[in-house]
Amino acid sequence: MKKWNLVIDIARCHDCNDCFLADKDEFVGNDFLPYSVAQPWSGHRWMNIERKERGQYPIVQTGYLPLPCMHCDDAPCVTADGAVYKREDGLVIIDPVKAKGRPEIVDTCPYGAIYWNEEAQVAQKCTGCVHLLEDGWTETRCSQVCPTGAIKLVMAEDAEMAAMAAAEGLRAYKAELGTKPRVWYKNLHRWDKVFASGSVAYADTDEVAEGAKITVSAGGAVVGTGETNNYGEFIVDHLEPGGEYEVTIEAAGYKPVTKAVTLAESLNLGLILLEKA
Ligand code: SF4
Ligand code: SF4
């Protein structure tokens, strides 16, 4: 059967928080029994936007990670008594009646996606807009409102979804947790990988070096390549954080330069001058 999946493209998110607000508009003050009771005015972020910067001035990238409940297929929050349960369509729901008075449910989520409603004395989270989907909606409130198309609801068979993930390079956030999320991210490298960057110029002319070849190696193997742009700048991305790398810059007629770096985070190597060969 077709199941619920959310595909989120990090490169398209610009942190407008429309999805966060649409969630508030839908759930604050509104009960949707048997799936949810009203979300409180403050303190809950059922769609949470995490933020980070990569690199250093002047080569800096921002990354935004919209983080709802992942509706995991192997969800540690699911309970044997049905207080938190998995539906056939893939959605994970907290039953607001059975889960009443059980704050311990909040701590079962490794993604921090469950919140405690003090007034209603119940654990709560993103429901995947199950009440709307049952009314025939083909969007969640967050996917409908996103102005850049960063969030898409995909109802698909698991095999179809796996094929789409492979074809489009979709990945789960923190897949190592082993919970098998149904939220898939595109361009997740902008969150969990690092880049090496820099600016290259010719020492003899003071001109920027456009088209210089960049090679990044680790343990003798090439792990990334790039080229300087018309400002002499380069970014080689998708590198594993924490690794030790050699960054080599080459341009015809000039001596190659190699820099050894440890990339605990994305790094701007600064200005690199090439001397005449
Ligand atoms: S609405 Fe779209 S662009 Fe705006 S914060 Fe949410 S995911 Fe990002
Ligand atoms: S993200 Fe957390 S709350 Fe959502 S299904 Fe997975 S474990 Fe449960």
**pLDDT tens per residue, range 5-16:** 999 999 999 999
How far apart are alpha carbons 156 and 5 in whole angstroms? 7
Ligand nearest to the CA of 73: 2
- What is the predicted pLDDT for the residue at 268? 97
Residue ending a domain, choose from 165, 191, 217: 191
Domain harbouring 256, CATH code:
2.60.40.10
Q: Are residues 123 and 166 in the same domain?
A: yes
Over residues 239-264, the pLDDT tens digits come to 999 999 999 999 999 999 999 999 99
Average pLDDT for residues 68-75, to the nearest whole number? 98
For residue 6, which ligand has an atom nearest its CA? Answer: 1
What are the two backbone dihedrals, phi and then psi, of residue 60, each rounded to the nearest 5 degrees?
-130, 140
> 62 with 167, same domain?
yes
Could you tell me if 125 and 13 lie in one domain?
yes
The count of structural domains within the chain is 2
Q: Supply 249's token pair.
A: 């810059």
Ligand 1 mutation pick, 46, 49, 65, 186, max ligand atoms within 8 A of CB:
49
Q: Ligand 1 test: best mutation among 9, 141, 148, 183, most atoms within 8 Å of CB?
A: 148
pLDDT given for residue 123 in this prediction: 97
Mean pLDDT of 26-52: 97
User: Would you state the pLDDT for residue 97?
Assistant: 97
Q: Atom 6 in ligand 2: which residue has the minimum CA distance?
A: 72
At 41, the pLDDT band (50, 70, 90 cuts) reads very high
Closest ligand, as measured to the CA of 99: 2
One domain for residues 179 and 206: no
Q: Ligand 2, residues 36, 79, 92, 127: which to mutate, most atoms within 8 A of Cβ?
A: 92
In the predicted model, what is the mean pLDDT of residues 74-94?
Answer: 98
Give the C-alpha separation, 72 to 77, whole Å: 9
| Structure confidence at residue 75 as a pLDDT band (50, 70, 90) | very high
Nearest CA to ligand 1 atom 1: 146
Mean pLDDT of all residues in 191-213: 97
Do 91 and 128 form a contact (C-beta atoms < 8 A)? yes
Considering the chain, what percentage of its residues have pLDDT values greater than 90?
100
Asked if residues 56 and 261 have their Cβ atoms less than 8 Å apart, the reply is: no
Q: Please give the distance of CA 91 from its chain centroid, rounded to a whole number.
A: 20
- Predicted local distance difference test score (pLDDT) of residue 109: 98
Is residue 152 domain-shared with residue 19, that is, in the same domain? yes
Residue 61: both structure tokens together:
């990238």
183 in ligand 2 pocket by Cβ < 6 Å? no
- The single-letter code of the amino acid at 221 is A
Residues 142 and 208 in one domain: no
Q: How far apart are CA 83 and CA 105, in angstroms?
A: 9
Mean predicted confidence (pLDDT) in 11-38: 98
- 103 and 236 within one domain: no
C-beta of 14 in contact with ligand 1 (< 6 A): yes
Q: Are residues 9 and 136 in the same domain?
A: yes
90 and 206 in a single domain? The answer is: no
Domain range spanning residue 265? 194-274
Task: Give the residue from 191, 216, 232 where a domain finishes.
Answer: 191
Which among 191, 222, 245 is the end of a domain? Answer: 191
The answer for residues whose C-beta is within 8 angstroms of residue 70's C-beta and 6 or more apart is 111, 113, 172, 173, 179, 181, 182, 183
Asked whether residue 129 falls in the same domain as residue 79, the answer is yes
Say how far apart CA 232 and CA 133 lie, in whole Å.
50
267 and 140 in a common domain:
no
> Does one domain contain both 185 and 212?
no
- pLDDT tier at 175, thresholds 50, 70, 90: very high
Q: What is the pLDDT of residue 227?
A: 98
